Amino acid sequence: MTDITNIQLVFMVVASLVPALFMILTSFINKLKNNHRKEMYDHEKKMIEMEVSRMHYEKKLYDLTEKLSMSESRYNDVNHLLFKSPLNSDNYSEKKYSAVNKNNFIKSMGLNDDDLVVDNKLIFMMTPFNPIFNDDFHAVRDVCSRVGFKCIRGDEENITGNILPHIIKKILKARLVIANINGRNPNVFYELGIAHALNKPTIIISKSESSIPFDIKSHRIVFYKNNEQLDSNLIDSILKIVS
Res 23 pLDDT > 90: no
Category of 7 on φ-ψ map: left (φ > 0), alpha (ψ -120 to 50) or beta: alpha
Average pLDDT over residues 7-27: 71
Query: What residues contact 59, with CB distance under 8 A and at least 6 apart?
Result: 130, 132
The residue length of the chain stands at 243
Residue-wise pLDDT for 95-105, tens only, equals: 445 556 677 88
How confident is residue 6, by pLDDT bands cut at 50, 70 and 90?
low
Looking at per-residue confidence, does 116 or 141 come out higher? Answer: 141
Res 78 pLDDT > 80: no
pTM greater than 0.85: no
Average pLDDT over residues 17-34: 78
Domain boundaries, the chain: 72-242
For the beta carbon of residue 229, count every other beta carbon within 10 angstroms.
15
pLDDT of residue 70: 60
Res 10 pLDDT > 70: no
The 3-state secondary structure of 182-217 reads CCCCHHHHHHHHHHHHCCCCEEEEEECCCCCCHHHC
Burial label for 10, CB within 10 Å (0-12, 13-18, 19+), is exposed
pLDDT of residue 221: 83
What CATH architecture applies to the domain 72-242?
3-Layer(aba) Sandwich (3.40)
How confident is residue 56, by pLDDT bands cut at 50, 70 and 90?
confident
Residue 221: strand pairing partners: 204, 218
